[in-house]
């Protein structure tokens, strides 16, 4: 089991998200941003290794506008050796990597241009992981998408589009249950039609489920991951008190996390902590997990 947090680190004082406005696009600006982001990513990974946080989600903003038609830089080539060095570091320290494109990636949109742009965005994410020369245990996670007034049709569109994707994307793509539209059961249905591994989100499952306990749902979810996909990934969070349903807590709820670790002790999986204060909670969580689990962490 490995444990980590997404995208940014608030302790070390750099941002791996540096971007700029589309209106002020120029390639020198792009180069400058990517340089900054790669350097900061390296610093974050070094911090993480020092604290044994061996799971990390790389920000989608690593290469700004990478999937936009304005982008005229062959960035994988331009930064080839930088990516290789970083990838080397990741492999050397056995760090697990994920990425999570945001809400605009919709494989089941009825609008062809939306689906097209989504695939371009997935290709960008795959290129990052390829440039790092990571194996297929490095994953890209997305949601199933919208309903568009007809859920069966929307599900079929997802399946159809998924089945036509290039291997370069498919070998890394995993599907996450969301908190309003597509439950873990819905994702399992998609898995049966496609073979796409399912990444389980604990808070989303609390918001939207079919009454399954962790005990019944987790074995089904974990069975969707093949050896080449690596150990299953799980997104962990808990409900922010007195807030909209589905909102992530600001800082780790230790009692809730402790219970989660106790309930899942028999499984091996990697945990991504989706908690607002990032590495601060991750450090608390790893202390709890190390105390409660017998397997090396």
Identity of the residue, 3 or 275, whose beta carbon is nearer to DNA in the bound complex: 275
Rank residues 91 and 248 by Cβ distance to DNA and give the closer one: 248
Closest distance to DNA from the beta carbon of 116 (Å) = 10
17 binds DNA (CB under 7 A): yes
Whole-number minimum distance, CB 74 to DNA, in Å?
A: 16
Q: Which two tokens stand for residue 94?
A: 């056995």
Q: What are the Cα distances from residue 137, in Å, to 172, 210, 231?
A: 7, 29, 8
Per CB under 7 A, the list member of 80, 104, 153, 254 interacting with DNA is 104
Q: Which of 91, 73, 75, 92 is nearest to 38 (CA)?
A: 75
Taking the C-alpha atoms of residue 125 and residue 62, their distance in angstroms, rounded to an integer, is 10
103 binds DNA (CB under 7 A): yes
Angle between helix 254-263 and 214-222 (nearest 10): 70
| Closest distance of CB 223 from DNA, Å | 28
Q: In angstroms, what is the minimal distance from the CB of 151 to DNA?
A: 9
Footprint of DNA on 219-248 (CB under 7 A): 244, 246-248
Smallest gap, in angstroms, from Cβ of residue 110 to DNA? 7
**Which distant-in-sequence residues (6+ apart) come within 8 Å of 226 by Cβ?**
197
DSSP β-bridge partners for residue 175: 142, 198
| Nearest-angstrom CA–CA distance, 83 and 16 | 14
Q: Segment 166-225, which members bind DNA (CB under 7 A)?
A: 179-181
Residue 48 touching DNA (CB under 7 A):
no
Q: Report the residue number, 125 or 229, with the smaller CB distance to DNA.
A: 125
To the nearest 10°, report the CA torsion of 181, 227, 124, 7: 70
Residues that bind DNA (CB under 7 A): 8, 15, 17-24, 60, 64-68, 102-104, 106, 109-111, 114, 117, 121, 145-149, 179-181, 244, 246-248, 274, 276
């Amino acid at each position: 089991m490995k444990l980590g947090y997404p995208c940014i680190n608030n302790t070390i004082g750099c941002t791996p998200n540096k971007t700029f406005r589309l209106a002020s696009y120029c390639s020198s600006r792009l180069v400058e941003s990517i340089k900054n982001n790669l350097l900061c990513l390296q610093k974050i990974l070094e911090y993480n290794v020092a604290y044994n946080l061996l799971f990390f989600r790389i920000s989608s903003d690593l290469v700004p506008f990478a999937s936009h038609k304005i982008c005229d830089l062959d960035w994988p080539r331009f930064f080839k050796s930088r990516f290789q060095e970083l990838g080397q570091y990741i492999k050397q320290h056995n760090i697990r990597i994920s990425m999570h494109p945001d809400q605009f990636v919709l494989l089941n949109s009825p609008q062809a241009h939306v689906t097209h742009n989504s695939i371009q965005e997935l290709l960008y994410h795959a290129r990052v992981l390829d440039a790092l020369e990571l194996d297929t245990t490095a994953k890209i996670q997305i949601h199933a998408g919208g309903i568009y007034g007809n859920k069966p049709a929307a599900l079929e569109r997802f399946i159809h589009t998924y089945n036509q994707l290039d291997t370069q994307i498919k070998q890394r793509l995993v599907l996450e249950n969301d908190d309003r539209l597509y439950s873990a059961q819905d994702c399992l249905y998609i898995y049966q039609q496609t073979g796409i591994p399912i990444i389980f989100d604990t808070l989303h499952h609390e918001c939207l489920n079919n009454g399954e306990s962790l005990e019944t749902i987790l074995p089904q979810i974990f069975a969707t991951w093949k050896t080449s996909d690596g150990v299953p990934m799980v997104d962990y969070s808990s409900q922010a008190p007195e807030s909209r349903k589905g909102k992530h807590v600001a800082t780790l709820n230790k009692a809730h996390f402790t219970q989660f670790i106790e309930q899942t002790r028999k499984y091996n999986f990697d945990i991504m902590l989706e908690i607002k204060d990032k590495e601060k909670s991750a450090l608390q969580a790893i202390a709890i997990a190390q105390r409660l689990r017998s397997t090396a962490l």
